[in-house]
């Protein structure tokens, strides 16, 4: 079996690579000032051609490259023939995320698969979370795979990194936030007051929350299931819980749409 090539550039600092049409579109829509250039492979037509034309209208350099050059940086990660070279957002301060107005934060408890993490961050940003927390050990980090899977959301959502999750959650509690873990044997989400400043903790698929992590939680949210499937994947659970928080808080586009 051919060994899978690892992607490079999964670190903050210098420049970051944002692969894929949707992820690059998100950068051009929301933070075009961070986009230094676009690299592309193939014809300038269809979605790719429109994306390149838009970048050039914004004064962003576009340059044709080769599949080999992209593979040297991104391995076998699919790019749809477009990669943006951007200024990396960098990790934010956890204390700063705690001080935001009405914080709604998502914390990852040993989510090691970068694709799972990307899907979680995509759901969190789309549903209105104000930030996310990763750990430096046993957790995927921001990088091209996460960016591609999140459709660019990982470069838009403020993300902090701490060495110890339990300590970070205790700091959040000391700052007045409630800690809500997603796990079994808890309350339905609508019975928990998610309008309060909140950190929602998502555990790894299969294992769930670690014992120490669960002990830091003020409440456990269990999503009721009506079918034969026994559980949801981590990204789906994150999306449901953040959506419920947005619904309870009101005044957001999500909550307004829900109430119509």
Following DSSP, what letter does each residue of the chain receive, concatenated?
Answer: -PPPPPP---SSSS-EEEESHHHHHHHHHH-GGGEEEEEE-S-S-HHHHHHHHHHHHTT-EEEE--HHHHHHHHTT---TTEEEEE----PBPHHHHHTSSS-EEEEEES---HHHHHHHHHHHHHHT--EEEEESSSS--SSHHHHHHTTTGGGTS-EEEES-HHHHHHHHHHTT-EEEEEEEEEE-GGGS-TTSSEEEEEEBTTTBS-HHHHHT-SEEE-----SS-----HHHHHHHHHHHHHHHH-SSHHHHHHH-
The residue extents of the domains of the chain are: 16-86, 94-259
Report field, pTM of the whole predicted structure over 0.75: yes
| C-alpha distances in Å from residue 203, one per residue of 105, 113, 191, 194 | 14, 12, 21, 18
Considering the domain delimited by 94-259, tell me its CATH architecture: 3-Layer(aba) Sandwich (3.40)
- Residue at token pair 């902090």: 160
Low-confidence residues of the chain: pLDDT under 50: 1-12, 254-260
Position 15 scores a pLDDT of 81
pLDDT digits (tens, 9 = 90+) for 137-146: 889 998 888 9
- The answer to whether 16-86 and 94-259 have equal CATH topology is no
Position 13 scores a pLDDT of 55
Position 2 scores a pLDDT of 37
With the CA atoms of 214, 216, 219 and 225 taken in that order, what torsion angle do they form, in degrees rounded to the nearest 10?
A: -20
Position 252 scores a pLDDT of 53
Query: 16-86 has which CATH code?
Result: 3.30.1330.30
């Amino acid at each position: 079996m051919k060994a899978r090539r690892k992607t490079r550039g999964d670190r903050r600092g210098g420049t970051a690579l944002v692969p894929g049409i949707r992820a690059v579109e998100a950068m051009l829509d929301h933070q075009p000032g961070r986009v230094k250039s676009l690299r592309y492979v193939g014809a300038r037509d269809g979605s790719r051609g429109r994306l390149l034309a838009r970048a050039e209208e914004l004064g962003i350099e576009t340059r044709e490259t080769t599949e080999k050059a992209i593979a040297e940086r991104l391995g076998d990660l699919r790019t749809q023939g477009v990669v943006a070279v951007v200024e990396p957002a960098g990790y934010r301060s956890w204390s700063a995320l705690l001080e935001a107005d009405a914080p709604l934060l998502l914390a990852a408890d040993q989510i090691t698969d970068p694709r799972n993490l990307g899907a979680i961050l995509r759901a969190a940003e789309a549903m209105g979370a104000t930030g996310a927390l990763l750990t430096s050990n046993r957790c995927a980090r921001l990088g091209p795979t996460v960016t591609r899977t999140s459709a660019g959301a990982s470069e838009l959502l403020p993300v902090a990194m701490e060495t110890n999750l339990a300590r970070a959650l205790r700091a959040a509690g000391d700052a007045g936030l409630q800690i809500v873990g997603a796990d079994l044997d808890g309350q339905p989400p609508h019975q928990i007051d998610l309008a309060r400043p909140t950190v929602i903790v998502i555990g790894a698929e299969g294992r769930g929350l670690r014992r120490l992590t669960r002990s830091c939680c003020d409440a456990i949210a269990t999503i009721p299931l009506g079918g034969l499937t026994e559980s949801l994947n981590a990204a789906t659970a994150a999306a449901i819980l953040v959506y419920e928080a947005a619904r309870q808080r009101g005044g957001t586009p999500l909550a307004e749409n829900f109430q119509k």
